[in-house]
Structure 1
């Protein structure tokens, strides 16, 4: 089966053809009933709410033994862990602090995984932001969408790759799934010719929240493309997945009041959280080495 890098670039307009195919014609797939994660350990970032929490729940439902909820707010993480423990009392569920706006927090988290975990099988990098107003991250000086969705996510992936490689069983490669978005295909990326590139995102006159979100995901796809030159599927299987348009997430929590009506109307055509999270589990558990380096959309490997 060809991977994403082997497929010709998409030339079909995203709206409406690709969107309709991905959102309404995709065959939603849940893991086979025989899937069993007994003994395995997983990390899910941004897992106190939305798709992160639901994917954590689904991993536990197929007998995941130990779950690390990587969250910015430990208190909210503990509330989520309590909810999950009520349904899965035999699983070990821990809450670890992770602030994706801080390089120091990301490095501390990775070191903790290296020192405290005797085993690590699955990492799902779900944490992300969508901002409607320009904001810089004090710790780095970079615009927040690009910082969290691209720079910090890429850093955390790089730091956790050797942990996955060394702490997954010898007969089973570790799994790293990064959550991406088909909105990468819509990115105008008006600063793409700027040199150097990163400072251009930090200029308020270039800010467009929706486009920055798409650009952050496009940069993520570029990162994965290049990463495949350095990472073997025999060590860690790395892929990206788009869950589609999903209702019930907190991604648009900063939405201006004038857009609320549109959001409610759009919510009529979104997938529910369980179906969206099923794409996470499919990418991180069900798929094998054939998904290494792949961008998955609508449960299919796509360009």
Structure 2
């Protein structure tokens, strides 16, 4: 081998080595951003699950996984058209259509929530898994629902709270009995919730309102756990979770969803954010994980226990939120 050949050969080896290093770095970086994965071989055969916001994103992937594991799944969505489209996609991905049931439910409308609960309970008197997945984000202006509450607050907390309470008798009948609130890590940035002003226009802020609603999800899990323990229903577990930074339709009202920017950022969003399937992993972990039985009132991320906002550990504040929510939803005795 002459000098030129040796130089060319050395350059080729350097290229291969450098490419391999770059590939390995990219592979493990992407794996890091994917987060924790639920890999337990657990069957959900015979279980009845209810998932809100299940026609897209994390909810869609949660339904898919539960159905593939043989669960009977009730899909609570606002739009029948979108739900049916989602069902067709799920069937194409191997799901059993006979175990997918659409129930119309708009969490920003208490009347709709009550109808959805009634219709669901007419089909099944036992619910093994309830996943409060639906939520809204990036509401740029203050909007009030027909029930008189700020839209983000009702959609993300009061609506799911009412639905959970209406389903509690059916959940208590199950020996499995798991309730899951999809919250967000952003709740760690929330200040204390002022229940007297939470609906007011003056106190509204796009991210402030979202942070508070997600803090309420964590506090709800803790407060409901204590209520269930007082009621003798220790077998029911209630936990909350952070799904991760997920590339879902929650960003549909932001600049990230404009045609040009959406295309330009697509590769970066795919690489640096979780897919919807990745984002569903902790929900599935809490729904089916063998080690979750008995653990309640806790907060999880990446399929493991993690630290919540210290404000969510204030038992009196959690109780106050619970009592307030009963009043707002017309359930107070």
Bin for the TM-score computed over the shorter chain: 0.7 to 0.9
Q: Does 1:295 align with 2:313?
A: no
Q: Indicate whether 1:140 and 2:135 are aligned.
A: no
Partner SS for 1:127: coil
- Residue 69 of structure 2 is aligned to residue 62 of structure 1: yes
Q: Is the 8 A contact 2:223 2:297 kept in 1?
A: no
Contact 1:183/1:217 (CA < 8 Å) preserved in 2? Answer: yes
Moved more, 50-59 or 129-138: 129-138
Corresponding residue for residue 250 of structure 2: 251
Q: Which residue of the partner structure matches residue 79 of structure 2? A: 73
Could you say if the C-alpha distance between residues 98 and 215 of structure 1 is closer, same or farther in structure 2, counting changes exceeding 3 Å? same
Deviates more, 1:155-164 or 1:286-295: 286-295
In 2: Cα distance, 1:83 partner to 1:258 partner: 23
3-state SS of the aligned residue for 1:206? coil
Q: Which residue of 1 aligns with 2:235?
A: 235
C-alpha distance in 1 between matches for 2:55 and 2:102: 9
Displacement after TM superposition at 1:114 (Å): 2.5
Of Structure 1 and Structure 2, the greater helix share is in 2
Matched residue count: 268
Residues 188/289 of structure 1: CA separation in 2 closer, same or farther (3 Å cut): same
The DSSP-based 3-state class of the residue aligned with 1:100 is: coil
Structure 1 contact 165–174 (Cα < 8 Å) conserved: yes
Is 1:113–1:163's contact at 8 Å kept on the other side of the alignment? Answer: no
Tell me if structure 2 keeps the 8 A contact 1:279–1:299: yes
SS in 2 for 1:42: strand
Provide TM-score, normalisation by structure 1. Answer: 0.80
Match of 1:182 in 2: 185
TM-score (ref. length: structure 2):
0.73
Unaligned runs of 5+ in 2: 1-30, 308-333
Q: Distance in 2 between matches of 1:94 and 1:258?
A: 30
**Residue 132 of structure 1: how far off its partner (Å):** 3.3
How far does residue 202 in structure 1 lie from its aligned partner after superposition? Answer: 3.1
Q: Which residue of 2 aligns with 1:285?
A: 288
Which of 275, 278, 288 is the aligned partner of 2:278?
275
Please report how far the alpha carbon of residue 258 of structure 1 lies from its aligned counterpart in structure 2 after TM superposition. Answer: 9.7
Separation of aligned partners in 1, 2:138 and 2:144 = 12
Pick aligned residue for 1:32 from 25, 40, 56 = 40
Deviation >3 Å, runs of 4+: 23-27, 232-235, 256-268
Structure 1 pair 284–63 and aligned structure 2 pair: CA distance change class (3 A): same
Structure with larger Rg: 2
**CA apart distance, 1:246:** 0.8
> Equivalences for 1:26-175 in 2 at 5 Å?
28-33=36-41, 35-64=42-71, 66-86=72-92, 87-89=94-96, 91-166=98-173, 168=174, 172-175=175-178
Give the Cα separation in 2 of the matches to 1:120 and 1:80.
Answer: 22
Change (3 A) 1:140 1:267: farther
* CA drift at 1:85: 2.4
